[in-house]
Amino acid sequence: MRAEEIRSRLSTPLTTPVYPPRATRFTDREYLNVVYRTDPEALRAVVPEPLEIDEPLVRFEIMKMGDVEGYGPYLECGQVIPVRHGAEHGEYLHAMHLDNFAATAAGRELSAYPKTVGSPSLFPDNGALVGTLDYGTQRVATATMAYKWLPLDPAEARAQITVPTYAVKIVPERVCELVRTEITDITVKGAWTGPARLELFAHVMAPLADLPVHEVVSASHIITDLTLAPATPVHDYLAG
């Protein structure tokens, strides 16, 4: 294989790339979001500069991907933290666990999503929407929300989903930078709010409980179609 052929490949293995070389379109992406208050010092220990924290909040999310071009259906779960970068308000992607290798590889290699393994689930159960995360055989998180309790303004749902997101991209000894991305081309198909509860359980390989739940602030259940935009660097940690 000649050098120009190698340069044209998107990822390894060279002869069997695991994700397509284009923007990803999601159809019927379903969110369960639970925003909660946590320890300010715990947040300061994990949010990288130059991002700043205004309130000690975390958004726990479970996403059920109904249909994803190039990947198929899968589930994802994680924590994001409301932050500010200069005057812009957004979210820092702290942890993401999912059950699809190709989506894990693409998220880490093409952007800077902090993706790793896990087994999320999202399903209705006796009047509740239930989201869970298991790591191996162990339960890490359980979220419950009253099922389609009250309609949520579609504009508010859109605002929740389309805030800019930040993450740290690291390629050892080559890249260490803060990147920014944003969801685009979104269609809100349904949105609800209601009471919710969230439990996090300590696990060394999935330490979501290091950001403990003190108070549930809000919850939402949103169904959308959307496209992920490419990530762009906004801060280089290696530049001095």
Q: Please tell me the number of Cα atoms within 13 Å of 118 on its side-chain side.
A: 27
Sequence-distant (≥ 6) Cβ neighbours of residue 182 within 8 angstroms = 162, 163, 164, 165, 229
> Per DSSP, which regions of the chain are E strands?
25-37, 57-68, 74-85, 88-98, 115-117, 119-125, 128-135, 138-146, 150-151, 165-171, 175-181, 183-193, 196-200, 215-228, 232-236
Backbone angles phi, psi at 202, to 5 degrees: -65, 135
Sequence-distant (≥ 6) Cβ neighbours of residue 2 within 8 angstroms = none
Active-site residue, selected from the candidate residues 115, 148, 169, 189 = 115
Neighbouring C-beta atoms of residue 167, cutoff 10 Å: 25
The CA distances from residue 216 to 12, 194, 239, in Å, are: 42, 11, 39
Asked if 115 is an active-site residue, the reply is: yes
Structure tokens belonging to residue 170: 């690291």
Active-site residue numbers?
115
